[in-house]
Amino acid sequence: MRLSIFFRLAAAIAVFVCLRQLTVMLCLASQAGLAVDCQFSQSDRLALYWRFSGAFKEKARISQPVGSERQVVKLILKDEMLRQFRLDLGAKPGIIKIQRISLASHFGKEQTWLPEEIRRDFQPNSDIAAINVQGDHLEIMTKGGNPYLVSPIIHPYRNIGIAWLLPLVFAALFFLYLPDMIAAIRRLPVFDDLRDRGNPGNIAALDGLRGLAALAVLAEHTGILPGIGSLGVYLFFALSGFLLTRPFRDKPERAADFAYMRRYLLRRLQRILPMYYLFITVTMLLRGHSGAAIRHYLFLQGDSHLWTLPQEMFFYAILPLVVLGIFALKDLPKFVTALFLLALIAIAATHWGMNIVHFYGYGTSLPSRAGIFLAGVFFACCYDGPRAKNWPDTGKNAIILTTIALLAVLVALSGKLIFVRWGINFLSWPISCGFLCGLLVFLTAFASGTALDRLLANPALRLIGIVGFSFYLVHPWLLGFIKNAALALPIPQTSLFKFTLGGIGTLVVASFTYSFVERPFIDNKAAKKG
């Protein structure tokens, strides 16, 4: 693959700048621990706060008890990045003698402050009554309360090898092998699927709609539009119902074919279990939460965003029974099948509670959302292929406007942008919202060949949609990483920034997990569109 020399050079410079910043922050600004040679007049506790940016926080705090004899108190930092620290001198009034304070790092020399330097460079607060140098030690008289000393700004250590030579080597390697790296990335299975729109009956715009659903969940969890995450989840449910029912729409006899249904269930398990089990293993089992992990493995529990997975598996289990019902009614007028499905939706909305099937998450029992999946089934049975493709422009425009208007109404209702003054919460009516989500899926499929179809089928949205399951699973982990990094790095914590950075990071991780965890278990094109 041939790339412009200027593009490769610009990319290499960008890598050098980023790596240099990272090595300075992660290595040269990291500290192994603080040692305080001190003597308290009475037993108390010494505490250390640190910060890289922002204010001192309880999450960045460690403490050690101290006695009345002279001792060296070691506060282990585990290579935390810091630009400043605060030394809390206990809560009891008295006299504290400090001989020296030493800050150690694995990447630089130990930095030591002697009594005169502590008095000159450290800032005491108002709970310190007096601070004086007495011979070989600093004598601090405290009034009780919360006396502390704030250090001067700690600059990263200067190390030419780490700060300059190491990033330069990586940038040079990046310059040399960038074409090979891009070629390798383009060969990832996720990009094969992006280029291949699958079976002739595949609706690429629905990949884009799934991408919008994933972004809606991300928007909820980053605070951009509270409430819209439920809309994203309901879209996922309606899409599952719609896509999984399509093979039975034209050939309902498949429902009575044992071999076909066996393959159907196997494909569903292959589609969900590898990535889901890997995620549970890494986030729960390996962190010592074996009980919760086992309950999640068995789909008996769904904490946080994982509450949707038991719902999904329950729908996979009941769909064969639903399509058997459709098969039994195949010789009757179509409206009889429609009434049958509408009746199932009504029953699911009102009677499928904990007495029939139990869902548990967030520390409480959860109601079934099978009615939303069944709304997707209903609209799949109403759909008989792209009709708008050869329509005149007037008809196409009507379909486009109707679909966009419905999407706008769903966003406005779920995000509580309208009707708030009247106390109307649309998400408290999940079956109504789910039915409209099914209608949105139907209209999107119906709009094949229109400008809306081309918009939703754009590569960016389709890529998010293709890796949508991995994207949904790992995005809270990426957002948590950004939140924790903000304790040390100057990362803005605005909703838009978290949405953008979290979305890009999640898409990168999800593309790899899809390619190497999900995709090897997907044995045909029909399976990977479920």
Query: What pLDDT, in 10s, does the model give residues 165-206?
Result: 999 999 999 999 998 898 888 888 898 888 775 455 678 899
pLDDT at position 125 over 60: yes
Per-residue confidence (pLDDT) for residue 527, from 0 to 100 = 42
Return d(Cα 133, Cα 239) in angstroms, integer.
Answer: 73
Q: Where are the domains of the chain?
A: 5-24+160-186, 30-150, 189-528
- pLDDT tens readout for residues 77-110: 988 888 899 999 999 999 999 999 999 998 888 9
pLDDT above 50 (res 525): no
DSSP annotation string for 58-114: TTSEEEEEE-SS-EEEEEEEEEEE-SEEEEE--SS-EEEEEEEEEEE-SSSPPEEE-
pLDDT score of 465: 94
For the segment 366-381, the average pLDDT, to the nearest whole number, is 89
Distance CA 308, CA 324 (A): 25
Residue-wise pLDDT tens digits, 274-288: 999 999 999 999 988
CA distance 314 to 209: 23
Task: Give how far Cα 264 sits from Cα of 11, 159, 254, 305, 309, Å.
Answer: 46, 59, 10, 26, 18
Q: Give the pLDDT confidence of 268-317 residue by residue, as tens digits.
A: 999 999 999 999 999 999 988 899 999 999 998 898 899 999 999 999 98
Structure tokens at 29: 């600004």
User: Which two three-digit tokens encode residue 62?
Assistant: 């460690």
For 222-230, what is the mean pLDDT?
87
Average pLDDT on 323-343 reads: 88
In the chain, the amino acid numbered 514 is: Y
* CA distance linking residue 60 with residue 51, whole number of Å: 7
26 secondary structure, DSSP code: I
Give yes or no for a contact between 323 and 340, defined as CB atoms under 8 angstroms apart: no
Give yes or no for residue 530 having a pLDDT over 50: no
Cα dihedral: 255, 258, 261, 266 (round 10): 180
**Please, which residues have CB within 8 angstroms of residue 138's CB and are 6 or more apart in sequence?**
97, 98, 99, 115, 118, 119, 131, 132
CATH number for 30-150: choose from 2.60.120, 2.40.160, 2.60.60, 2.60.40.
2.60.60
**3-state helix, strand and coil shares in percent for the chain, rounded to the nearest 5:** 60, 15, 25
pLDDT single digits (tens) 18-73:
899 888 888 898 999 999 999 999 999 999 999 887 788 888 899 999 999 999 99
Gyration radius from the chain CA atoms: 30
* pLDDT digit string, tens, across residues 422-450: 555 666 677 888 899 999 999 998 888 78
| End-to-end Cα separation, the chain, in angstroms | 34
What string of DSSP letters covers 329-345? TTTS-HHHHHHHHHHHH
Task: Give ∠ CA 133-137-139 in degrees, rounded to 5.
Answer: 60
- CA–CA distances in Å: residue 520 to residues 194, 221, 516, 525: 16, 30, 6, 12
Tokens, residue 65: 């008890």
Q: Mean pLDDT for the chain?
A: 87
